A and B are shown apart, each in its own frame.
Chain A
């Protein structure tokens, strides 16, 4: 286990930057609450995954290079997303194989940690719940589950909260059908997948859906909203911050 650092880098992700900055800020507040200084390079942008997964590796590399430059020091790079985290940690070395930046990419990848894993394993965060009793359910993003393997950490945060009851989805391990450009290029398939996910969520009786990935939240949340569901979708960092902040 890495020793407790004094400073960390924060990689906010482009989706959080544009659509869910409050989730990004909540992650920052949680880190600061533990006495860690959060560095936010203004030069950062996107991890490059959209192009990487759509058949445009050269464009992905150009954007990825910008991130290598923006995070030059050896501080942990904390990411409030399993998906972008997976890209930075597991795909950068592949993206830069046979490239001059390979060593740099490896250095960078080695520093990347997903937010909830970092809070639990490195900072050993202790949460005190100040909220009203609530029933929530949890969506595991595929990359948090299979690439970053951090789901147990995310859920352990929720389990620390005294007044929060976590009801698990029947098919928690099944993809919600987002898949970036898949959601529009294979819109029918994606819609079929997310409809099943929504039905599964509704069945839990939970009053909120939580996840560690804003891509899935945008997708499932959009579908919940479309189907006039009353269940809001929220990033785990924002939820936890609300609970402990009171």
Chain B
């Protein structure tokens, strides 16, 4: 799932933080998205009701996940959709390639799909002489610039209009430079229209799959998703296996939560419900529809009741938009496909703590993500769990891969010492006194060890000559 094999988090973070243009682009984009969301969900009471419903729907679906997936497969098959199971991204890629090759196809048009990013599908197809063209405007922009999405909903959010104008001018032949949004849209539309016509296979993601009816739901704003799923003769939908819901009734509340949380829209311009390939007598639609269900570590996550909550996610991106860390880094610095709060809980579980455990440290536990999450994922509790398991070897069956990787004698001893000090009132009193004396001797504490890091932007506090314990005693406060 990594964009490169080893992710150098500190280096990435420093690079992002030193890019004022990026910081500016992100800030203004996040402000807009946050404001739109607030406007739509302006009534806290009804929002809480709606998200309680969303939470219930997702929990119910996950509780019966194996049964629902079986039912989904059965219903889809009855409807004429061919279902494939993939345990790993490599398997999923192979399945897609075989379908594409069976039709002697070389041109794939793609709607937006984070699971296809997780598979690195485009890269894989290119190695096999298949060109995959992104048709979502944001995805198209970053594909032109050989980048990966920096946001799960708005993939080119790190770029501003001028940068896109420059990119189009440089990369699309015979394109005059323009910063007019309508003209930029028209340029992209012209290129994409031609590609839609030439596309031999369409690939899309899935927002919700309804087990009851075997329906694949796809949410989008540009109509490119509909083109990808209807214009070519073959449609392949790729989906993480947690995206299933029980009933058709479950879709409206989730859709409302998804669009409202993501972009502050009451509903998107397009909402596609795909239930079968073209039927006899119908004039359009693909002749074949395939559904590829990807596991990639999800069943392991599912097995643990606490971690399972990660799978409630409907990929709305609201946690990114409200995250003070994401707002300053953007998605690329995280080095993996899923950035921000959801990425920081999901990625270490899939990739293991050794590779991605550091993502769990990039949080102040401010809780802004949880406050907006439309399905109430306890993001900070899961982050805390990942931190715990980073330091401890655990012998539960569902320990996160790589648990105990940070086991360090020094850090463990430090915390043991800290605990002892805070368990024994006399030790606590003594250390308070010593620190007070020390502080009185030194006008400023020396910047050594961790204090060095503190000191890079903040002066150090002073220890008081007399602690609150001492003052309270002097004042004669009693205890009972």
Contacts and interface: CB of A to CB of B under 8 A. Distances in A.
Interface string B420-440: 011101001000100110000
B472 interface: yes
B64 interface: no
Contacts of A48: 422
A223 B406 CA distance: 30
A232 interface: no
Nearest to A198: B457
A126 to B, nearest CB: 24
B166 interface: no
A142 B365 contact: yes
A43 B425 contact: yes
**Contact count band on B:** 35 or more
Contact of B453 (A43, A60, A187): A187
Given A40-B472, A222-B459, A66 B423 contact: yes
Contacts of A7: 480
B368 A12 contact: no
A207 interface: no
B106 to A, nearest CB: 44
B367 interface: yes
Interface stretch (B219-227, B264-272, B356-364): B356-364
B140 to A, nearest CB: 31
Contacts of B467: 17-18, 21
Contacts of A178: 364
Interface residues of A, number: 73
B459 A59 contact: no
B457 A191 contact: yes
B457 A55 contact: no
Interface stretch (A100-108, A157-165, A169-177): A169-177
A21 to B, nearest CB: 4
Contact of A146 (B329, B367, B421): B367
Interface string B430-464: 00100110000000000000110110111111111
Contacts of A177: 324, 364
A147 to B, nearest CB: 7
A175 B364 contact: yes
B458 A194 contact: yes
A179 B479 contact: no
Nearest to A50: B418
A140 B328 CA distance: 20
A13 to B, nearest CB: 8
A43 B479 CA distance: 9
Contact of B384 (A53, A75, A173): A53
A55 B13 CA distance: 22
A62 B324 contact: no
Interface stretch (B70-78, B129-137, B388-396): B388-396
A191 B452 CA distance: 13
Nearest to B435: A18
B328 A193 contact: yes
B423 A179 contact: no
B406 A55 contact: yes
A186 interface: yes
B419 interface: yes
Interface string B1-27: 000000000100110010000000000
Nearest to A48: B422
Given A179-B365, A182-B364, A12 B468 contact: yes
A188 B17 contact: yes
A107 to B, nearest CB: 16
A18 B473 CA distance: 15
A191 B456 contact: yes
Given A45-B425, A182-B364, A188-B17, A63 B419 contact: yes
B471 interface: yes
Contacts of A10: 472, 477
Interface in A215-242: 218-219, 221-223, 225-226
A153 interface: no
B478 interface: yes
Contacts of B103: none
A28 B384 contact: no
A188 B325 CA distance: 11
A183 interface: yes
Given A28-B475, A187-B454, A223-B457, A63 B365 contact: no
A176 B204 CA distance: 40
Nearest to B417: A59
B158 interface: no
B366 interface: yes
B366 A179 contact: yes
Nearest to A56: B415
Contacts of B14: 188
A221 B475 CA distance: 28
B120 to A, nearest CB: 28
The 5 A-B pairs at the shortest CB distance, nearest first, are namely A179-B364, A222-B458, A175-B366, A191-B457, A187-B453
15 contacts: A18-B464, A19-B464, A22-B464, A53-B384, A55-B387, A55-B391, A57-B388, A63-B422, A65-B423, A66-B422, A146-B371, A187-B457, A189-B362, A191-B456, A193-B364
Interface of B: 10, 13-14, 17, 324-325, 328-329, 361-368, 370-371, 381, 384, 387-392, 406, 412, 415-416, 418-419, 421-423, 425, 428, 432, 435-436, 450-451, 453-454, 456-464, 466-473, 475, 477-480
